[in-house]
Amino acid sequence: MAQPFIEFKDVSKSFGKLQVLDKVNLKIYSGEITSIIGKSGVGKSVLLKHIIGLIKPDSGQILINGKPLSEFSKAEWKAFKRSLSYMFQSNALFDSMTVFENIALPLVERTKLSPLEIKKKVDHRIKQFELEEVRDRYPSQISGGMQKRVALARALVTEPTMILFDEPTTGLDPLRKNAVLNMIAHYQHEIGFTGVMVSHDIPDVFFISNRVAIIENKKIPFQGTPLELEQSDNEIVWQFIHGQDVLQDQLTGLNSKPEVEKLINELRSKVATDGSRFSVALFTIDDLDEIKKGVGYIASQRIFQCLAMTLKSYLSNKEYAARFGSKEILAVFPDSDASRAEDIIQRLSLECSKQELMDPAKYKKVCIDFSLKVGVVEVNQPLTLADIIELARKNQKIIAKMECKGVSNKK
């Protein structure tokens, strides 16, 4: 693998008699989002403060592109700090400044741009984050969700190489939380910055992360991709991740992905031993990424939420469903043939078609066609989970769709 952009090598840190980090090793790669997860008070924010130089390690090294920070000249350190931006847990907006002035502040303090150039850059971010209506308001006059958008716009206005996110979704309701996470993912993809995010939003944060690091007992027992995390045999990792199994997805009310995987594995064993069967249905919302980009993050989350909550309302206590991606839900029907899944799908199709989210007249600014597809598989042989999902995708058919038709703002 390529050389890490930032690397912690055996970094230890204590505050008095309290040791927070003990020979921590961590690699952060350029152009990726790395999420650092862990319980409260274990040192997640301390890691971020080491990166920006607010805290220095007691021992060990922090390398930037292979060079120890301790060997940086003043000019190199200054250039590195200019390339960073920080989105604070509490937003850190100034109450005495308007939204425009808050976003402009980094440009005013850290650049020599003219007022006209600053206005142009700030106006671009205000439009990008749909903040035009509140540009002249003060933070106390806007919602918590909008304050998060202002904080993210301010973090991006200097076009940084790296952005550090310290619990960016703290205090938000589930809908706004997912909207913020999707915003971060979208702009990271669009701009290509390196993101380091401290978060406790499991499993939501996994869907936007390229790499995940767990901090526990003063060390980092795991770092890798979300897929590697799920497949890890490390006992600490297993306890940490599977300790979240009882938590349902707050946005949708769905079961957790590990719960559904566990159920499928149990059903596969039954199929192999006693010849029983079960069925699954894979639901996909087409063009959800385009909806996020063109219509808005909240609209995309509401569409997903509508599908998930409607589906969940039709399932029995023995039937599970979980999010298996940013736009997919996998439902499992134990001891049932395909007819049970088809019955649920028929009811779901009728209900979804009645929802206002399927009415093009509700999209006043931008309208984008999208459809709901479902594929059913009746499992009567011990197929792998990957094979089951692949077959379900091949079987997918459209069961509901929203067509903009002659709407003038169609995209």
Give pLDDT tens digits for 163-212.
999 888 777 676 677 777 877 887 787 788 999 998 876 666 777 888 99
With a cut of 70, say whether residue 397 has pLDDT above it. yes
Amino acid type, 238 = W
Q: What's the rounded Cα separation, in Å, for the pair 122 and 148? A: 16
Architecture of domain 6-242: 3-Layer(aba) Sandwich (3.40)
Q: What's the rounded Cα separation, in Å, for the pair 299 and 33? A: 24
Structure tokens at 146: 């909008």
What are the residue ranges spanned by the domains of the chain?
6-242, 257-402
Question: 77-88: per-residue pLDDT in tens?
Answer: 988 988 888 887
Q: What percent of the chain has pLDDT over 90?
A: 34
Per-residue model confidence (pLDDT) at position 377: 94
Please compute the mean of the pLDDT values over residues 138-164 and round it to a whole number.
Answer: 87
With a cut of 50, say whether residue 244 has pLDDT above it. no
Of the candidates 361, 355, 374, 253, the residue with the CA atom closest to the CA atom of residue 303:
355
Q: What's the rounded Cα separation, in Å, for the pair 79 and 64? A: 12
Chain-centroid distance, C-alpha 195: 12
Please compute the mean of the pLDDT values over residues 262-283 and round it to a whole number.
Answer: 91
- The 3-state DSSP composition of the chain as helix, strand, coil percent (nearest 5) reads 45, 25, 30
Please compute the mean of the pLDDT values over residues 336-346 and round it to a whole number.
Answer: 90
Structure tokens at 116: 């006209």
Per-residue model confidence (pLDDT) at position 350: 83
Fold for the domain defined by 257-402: Alpha-Beta Plaits (3.30.70)
Per-residue model confidence (pLDDT) at position 263: 92
Structure tokens at 17: 């008699």
With a cut of 80, say whether residue 17 has pLDDT above it. yes
